[in-house]
Structure 1
Amino acid sequence: EHPEIFKKYFGKIIPPEDNKFAALNSAVWSGGSFIYVPPGVKVDMPLQAYFRINAENIGQFERTLIIVDEGADVHYIEGCTAPVYSSESLHSAVVELVAHKDAKLRYTTIQNWSNDVYNLVTKRAYAYEGATVEWIDGNIGSKLTMKYPGVYLMGERAYGETLSIAFAGKGQHQDTGAKMVHMAPNTTSKITSKSVSRLDGRSTYRGLLNVAKGATNVKSTVRCDALLLDDTSKTDTYPYMEINQEDATITHEATVGKIGDEQIFYLMTRGFTEEEALSLIVNGFMEPFTKELPMEYAVELNRLIKLEMDDSVG
């Protein structure tokens, strides 16, 4: 249904020439999701999709296109998993979102690819006048993830937010972040990134904040928090800001920390084992993300984090 809407927007938010992975996807894609929410429609239950790689040494190139018309509201949730194989696979997806006037769109991802999958994804949204777009992005699995969901704020009063977590364990590199591009006046954005690294894992944050000339009264907040669980894990932060309007209000905060022995000791005096204490602290660190998930997804995410802490995933 709605072929005219599909043709109007497909490949327009992320054209094939945008980057080499978008070009590859555009050349070989073979399926995915298309959602159109008519004006004023409020979708009460989250729409859900599940992507799985069931064979080794293959590529998966799905596309997602979601159009939310004026005043409509929808929450879309996707999950990603794969069995463990001896050879590597590639997941290279393209996600395009459009939120029209006063629409609201939340896009949630729980990514738990096995540790032999390269996860290279391009995600971008356009938010028009008064619209809200929220990326809730969780990355637990994969060998390498490169993903930077973006929101282009195209109309006044538009709001964009990215809340992301990344867990980098043994043999993993989570290279994640966000992009916020303020093209219109009186727009607001927020980026919150949290990462946990252990057992030689590496987490990288890359963020872009761009305020165009003429985009007056812009407000944006960027916060990056990294937690290192041992001396061999790594974290990097590469924030980039291009502000072309003098009256923009921008705040940026970044922290890197380790779990102190006194924290573990305190919890152990309350009856927890050392492993339980460590998991409790990590779950508390991730809590700003998990509280945004539906209950069943929050429970599953906490279980996945516990399995990662026990070295049982991947």
Structure 2
Amino acid sequence: MSSDQHHLRDTDTEERFEFKKEQRAAVKSGKGLTEEVVRLISEDKDEPEWMLQRRLRALEHYQNMPLPTDWPGQPDLTELDIEEIIPYIRPDVDKREGADSWDDLPDDIKDTFEKLGIPEAERKALSGVGAQYESEVVYQNMQEQWEEKGVVFCNMDEAVQEHENLVKEYFMTKCVPPSDNKFAALHGAVWSGGSFVYVPEDVTVQMPVQAYFRMNSEGMGQFEHTLIIAEEGSEVHYIEGCSAPKYGSHNLHSGGVEVFVDEDAHVQYSTVQNWSKNTFNLNTKRAIVEAGGRMEWVSGSMGSKATMLYPCSILKGRGASANQISIAFAGEGQNIDTGAKVYHNAPRTNSTIESKSISKDGGRTNYRGLVHISDG
């Protein structure tokens, strides 16, 4: 292939992700992280009181925790000014829970996702497709054949209302509490959107479930929460993709992922992120795996100014297993700090971690991992 052809391919890829739309917001918070902002988010979502109280407790944890700065080689976070980040933008979509059909979306939002291959993915017969624009899920669909078997795939805001008991039991209580780290606390205070997946006992969802997260506005933060509950003997594959256009000021992505793998269940979680090079990508992802269960993480990190991401599997039950594969690419001005954590807390558990990286033009990649085997 000629150098001109290489250049064309790079340019086409950049244009696919770097385009931006004029912002049209129905609700937009002020900058920074305050109690007023947290209450605005909760009120706009018409949340129950218990969720508001969890947000406020997470805010307290956030305010009492310092920025992590003591890991050798970690990305420099001093350029990240959270007081300049806009935590919440609800796009101008008629239905709070998102559109019932693709055609119901406003043209500018629909055009954004069509350029990115959504709903092309749905046309290829995925089990379900969700699309988040700014702080809200604007489109989500689950094929009827899985709904009939009791599978739930909806946005987290809808789950708080329609599946309140499950969300109240699992949301940031057992897996990723807000006290875990400063960015988990930040996430717990201002989370918005994301996906809720529930797979009943012995149900295998044979086609992947896919979600796509898009930041369009300058200087905003995106804080989607993904909660997956796979009951005994079930199986599901969840795929997420992320992108944003590049602006002069910094954006922040601080998502939270909690996965519960019951006995003999199998969950695969695949991520491809191509955030723009002004985005700080600071996520917390963790799974709790019961006896005989299997958790697989597949991560591709190609974008962002700085990434700190270490998916974690807690092997809680006898015979539980985990497989973690990560690929990282850092070009000029990028610092990609990724890895994996596995806790072997039961007999006959096993895990495999594979991590590959490429650094180019002064970019930096770093692997940071932990394998902990409990006494006995």
- Structure 1 length as normaliser, TM-score? 0.67
Deviations 1:275-314 (A, max 9, x none): xxxxxxxxxxxxxxxxxxxxxxxxxxxxxxxxxxxxxxxx
Larger RCO (alpha carbons 8 Å, 6+ apart): 2
Alignment partners' CA distance in 2, 1:75 and 1:128: 18
Runs of 4+ in 1 over 6 A off after TM superposition: none
Which of 245, 254, 279 is 1:83 aligned to? 245
In the other structure, the counterpart of 1:133 is 295
Which AA in structure 1 matches 2:227? L
Deviation at 1:34, TM superposition (A): 0.8
2:146 paired with 1:11: no
What is the CA-CA distance between 1:2 and the residue it aligns to?
3.2
2:280 aligned residue (110, 118, 121)? 118
Q: Deviation at 1:110?
A: 0.3
What is the alpha-carbon distance in structure 2 between the residues aligned to residue 110 and residue 181 of structure 1? 24
Aligned pairs (5 A) from 1:93-172: 93-172=255-334
1:213 deviates by 0.9
Distance 2:323 2:235 in 1: 16
The residue identity in structure 2 corresponding to 1:95 is: V
- Which string of whole-angstrom CA distances, capped at 9 and with x for unpartnered residues, describes residues 156-185 of structure 1? 110111100000000000000000000000
Pick the aligned partner of 1:183 from 345, 350, 372.
345
CA distance in 1, matches of 2:280, 2:351: 29
SS at match of 1:45: coil
Query: What is the distance in 2 between the residues matched to 1:52 and 1:133?
Result: 26
Partner AA of 2:167 in structure 1:
F
Name whichever structure is richer in strand by fraction: 1
How far apart in 2 are the matches of 1:2 and 1:184? 31
Name the CA distance, whole Å, in 2 between partners of 1:6 and 1:104. Answer: 21
Read off the aligned partner of 1:29 and give its amino acid letter: W
Partner Cα distance (1:147, 1:78) in 2: 15
Instruction: Indicate yes or no: 2:240 matched with 1:74.
Output: no
Instruction: Give the equivalent residue in structure 1 for 2:72.
Output: none
Counterpart of 2:70?
none
- Give the alignment's Cα RMSD to 1 decimal: 0.7
Q: Could you list the runs of 5+ residues in structure 1 that have no partner in the other structure?
A: 215-314
Given candidates 191, 211, 220, the residue that maps to 1:49 is: 211
Amino acid at match of 1:3: E
Give me the whole-angstrom Cα distance separating, in 1, the residues matched to 2:217 and 2:326. Answer: 28
CA distance in 1, matches of 2:289, 2:308: 23
* Deviation for aligned residue 1:3: 2.3
Identity among equivalent positions (%) equals 56
What does residue 222 of structure 2 align with?
A: 60
Q: Secondary structure at the match of 1:17?
A: coil
Aligned residue number for residue 254 of structure 2:
92
Letter of the 1:24 partner, please give it.
Answer: L
Work out which of the residue numbers 26, 29, 32 in structure 1 matches 2:188: 26
Q: CA deviation at 1:196?
A: 0.3
Greater mean deviation of Cα atoms: 200-209 or 26-35: 26-35
Structure with the largest fraction of helix = 2
1:14, CA displacement in angstroms?
0.3
Task: Give the Å deviation of 1:26.
Answer: 0.4
Amino acid in the other structure paired with 1:173: N
Return the alpha-carbon distance in structure 2 between the equivalents of residues 186 and 75 of structure 1: 25
Q: CA deviation at 1:207?
A: 0.2
